[in-house]
Amino acid sequence: MSGTDKTKNQVLGPAPIAVLVQPQLGENIGTAARAMANFGLHDMRLVEPRDGWPNEKAVAASSGAHWILDRATVYSTLADALSDVNHVYATTARPRGMIKEVITPEQAGHDMRARIERGGKVAMLFGRERWGLSNDEVSMADVIVTAPVNPAFASINIAQAVLLMGYEWFKDQAETLGQQTPELAALDGPGLQTPDTRPATKEEFNGFIGHLEHELDIAGFFKTAAKKPGMLRNIRNLFARASLTEQEVKSLRGIVSSLTRAHEKRKEEREAKAIEP
Amino acid sequence: MSGTDKTKNQVLGPAPIAVLVQPQLGENIGTAARAMANFGLHDMRLVEPRDGWPNEKAVAASSGAHWILDRATVYSTLADALSDVNHVYATTARPRGMIKEVITPEQAGHDMRARIERGGKVAMLFGRERWGLSNDEVSMADVIVTAPVNPAFASINIAQAVLLMGYEWFKDQAETLGQQTPELAALDGPGLQTPDTRPATKEEFNGFIGHLEHELDIAGFFKTAAKKPGMLRNIRNLFARASLTEQEVKSLRGIVSSLTRAHEKRKEEREAKAIEP
């Protein structure tokens, strides 16, 4: 399928962000950029690329999608890469034993389109070549995306995963220009009925989780240090599923603060009663 | 997207044939084989591969999809490669000025599935890296398949084209067999991975909300009686969206209990410090 019309300018409209977590080979970063270009994606974010950045092998493998590599940004943590993002899709083929919504690339395409049209920023996570994303990284996403593949040969190259996600996103645009499909309407669930607020950014979300973790540490909620990471991941997944708005994150922080002060109120009441004649 | 289960045997059921016309690089033949394996394709036919056959670079690039390369067959003409085929799909991104039906990969997926179920043999044509298929080669196909791509960057690598076609074919199978349950489930509600637990009952959910409300009442969270119903509704909605499991409801109750006792822990620590010499 060749046939690029080089005279056409690249249009950098709102599109999903592609986040590559610890990519190992420059070639794969380059072919991922090419796949992004095929489907109008342009915001590439790299978390700790193994061989540093910029990378000449990436440029050579990008088949001319240099504007994506030129604009790519590098982060030292996944949390930093997602700080301004509202909704995150983790691509994975492995079952994770996590209580998190699992959708297909096609559904992700619809969902990303709808969220971007409402002004949201969405990002897709792609794991390292050798072993994909860690459970902690997956827990930072709102939803898992798993493509239907041959279970006896499920390993998809990063660029191929980027291609499938970009394809489904682009295809959805091509299909829905002008009209909204019933599937799209059905998928517009969380976050739609929030006229007075906006989806929380990951920075706001992580701020709440950090606040809760701090208070639970003080309260001795995590029985042992060994159990804490798994327990915290479950808590993160639970709240991530709710697709919180900025206002709801504030409310939850208010709830945590209130509960930690509940004891004071109880004490005041007891003392007030004790004083009564 | 890693996660191949190597213990599963490859099933070589009826599937579309992939015909690569004068492929130039062994690497591309190998990555095309890998893409075929991802979607249960197994019949690869090569017309005049530039560097001969077999090709070690193809094996190296196939990431273990060796059974496809081992069984690949080589032909000196496209006509020979298609002699036993009933219906042929030519993949191309360029306008051809030909009076021939043009369909999308998705439509091709449906169409191939239907023809194979009726006992037909179908083949997909992929052109050479540098300039795709000739008009004569396209004319040997029954239909042209063109993927929706960024018109300003339309050149797709052979393996990527094989991937998209294989994906749409496999996806169509998964839908037909009802295997892709998350896809169907998500149209009614979120498709959740729920290991070792079950969705919470409404009784359990309401028990948690009641518990939280009680503690928030004590903590003075609801500033006024007039504001309380609306605030409580928002809290209920937020947690309802998470589709909690029974285990998560228990965890949330544990969190509420812990937080309300956090003050005691703090006080203990202060007192312990005060006693230190």
Pairwise CB contact (< 8 Å): B241 & A238? no
Residue in chain A lying closest to B144 (CA): A1
pTM above 0.80, yes or no: no
Pairwise CB contact (< 8 Å): A261 & B263? yes
Nearest to B239 among A91, A242, A260 (CB): A242
CB count within 10 Å of CB A276 equals: 5
Q: Which CATH superfamily is domain B17-185 in?
A: SPOUT methyltransferase, trefoil knot domain (3.40.1280.10)
What pLDDT sits at residue A95?
Answer: 66
Nearest to A35 among B160, B183, B234 (CB): B160
Residue A3 sits at the chain B interface (C-beta within 8 Å): yes
Residue B221 sits at the chain A interface (C-beta within 8 Å): yes
Closest CA of chain A from B39, distance in Å: 5
In single-letter form, the type of residue at position A69 comes to L
Residue A63 sits at the chain B interface (C-beta within 8 Å): yes
Pairwise CB contact (< 8 Å): A1 & B218? no
Q: Residue B193: name the closest of A135, A99, A134 by CA.
A: A99
Pairwise CB contact (< 8 Å): B263 & A258? no
Pairwise CB contact (< 8 Å): B8 & A152? yes
Radius of gyration of chain A (CA): 22
Q: Is the pLDDT of residue B9 over 80?
A: no
Pairwise CB contact (< 8 Å): A216 & B174? no
Residue A63: its chain B contacts at CB < 8 A?
Answer: 155, 157
Q: Looking at residue A242, what DSSP letter applies?
A: T
Q: Which CATH superfamily is domain A17-187 in?
A: SPOUT methyltransferase, trefoil knot domain (3.40.1280.10)
pLDDT confidence band for A262 (50 / 70 / 90): confident
Q: Is the bond preceding A195 in cis, omega lying within 30 degrees of 0?
A: no
- Residue B235 has φ and ψ, to the nearest 5°, of -65, -45
Structure tokens given for B84: 């036993």
Question: Measured between alpha carbons, how far is B48 from B170 in angstroms, rounded to an integer?
Answer: 28
Q: List, for residues B136-195, the tens digit of each pLDDT value.
A: 888 888 889 999 998 888 888 899 999 999 999 999 877 655 443 333 333 333 344 455
Nearest to A153 among B38, B131, B216 (CB): B38
Question: Measured between alpha carbons, how far is A262 from A106 in angstroms, rounded to an integer?
Answer: 47
Residue A262 burial (10 A CB sphere; 0-12, 13-18, 19+): buried
Residue B266: its chain A contacts at CB < 8 A?
Answer: 218
What pLDDT sits at residue A191?
Answer: 31
Q: Where are the domains of chain B?
A: 17-185, 202-275
What pLDDT sits at residue B197?
Answer: 74
Residue carrying structure tokens 């996103």? A169
Pairwise CB contact (< 8 Å): A103 & B238? no
Nearest to A63 among B151, B155, B179 (CB): B155
Q: Is the pLDDT of residue A27 over 50?
A: yes
Q: List, for residues A151-198, the tens digit of each pLDDT value.
A: 888 888 899 999 999 999 999 877 654 333 333 333 333 333 344 678
Question: B101 versus B107: which is more confidently predicted?
Answer: B107
Average pLDDT estimate for B23-47: 96
Of how many residues is chain A composed?
A: 277
What pLDDT sits at residue B221?
Answer: 93
What pLDDT sits at residue A187?
Answer: 32
Name residues whose C-beta falls within 8 Å of residue B71's C-beta, 6 or more positions apart in sequence: B42, B43, B44
Residue A35: its chain B contacts at CB < 8 A?
Answer: 160
Pairwise CB contact (< 8 Å): A260 & B260? yes
Closest CA of chain B from A116, distance in Å: 18
Pairwise CB contact (< 8 Å): A147 & B167? yes
Structure tokens given for B74: 């080589």
Residue carrying structure tokens 């792609």? A126
Q: Residue A108: name the closest of A58, A169, A32 by CA.
A: A169
Pairwise CB contact (< 8 Å): B191 & A102? yes
- Judge contact between A107 and A187, C-beta under 8 A: yes
How far is the CA of A40 from the CAs of A33, B81, B96, B164, in angstroms? 10, 35, 23, 16
What pLDDT sits at residue B191?
Answer: 40
Residue B212: its chain A contacts at CB < 8 A?
Answer: 255
Question: Measured between alpha carbons, how far is A163 from A20 in angstroms, rounded to an integer?
Answer: 13
Which segment, B6-15, B194-203, B230-239, is predicted with the most confidence on average? B230-239
Q: Is the bond preceding B182 in cis, omega lying within 30 degrees of 0?
A: no
Pairwise CB contact (< 8 Å): A254 & B221? yes
Pairwise CB contact (< 8 Å): A94 & B3? yes
Nearest to A101 among B2, B192, B248 (CB): B192
A contact residues 74-133, partner B, Cβ 8 Å cutoff: 91-104, 106-107, 126-127, 129-132
Question: Measured between alpha carbons, how far is B177 from B179 in angstroms, rounded to an integer?
Answer: 5
What pLDDT sits at residue B184?
Answer: 32
Strand partners, B128: B132
Mean pLDDT, rounded, of chain A:
85
CATH code 1.10.8 for A202-275: yes
Angle formed by the axes of helices A105-117 and B181-188, nearest 10°: 40
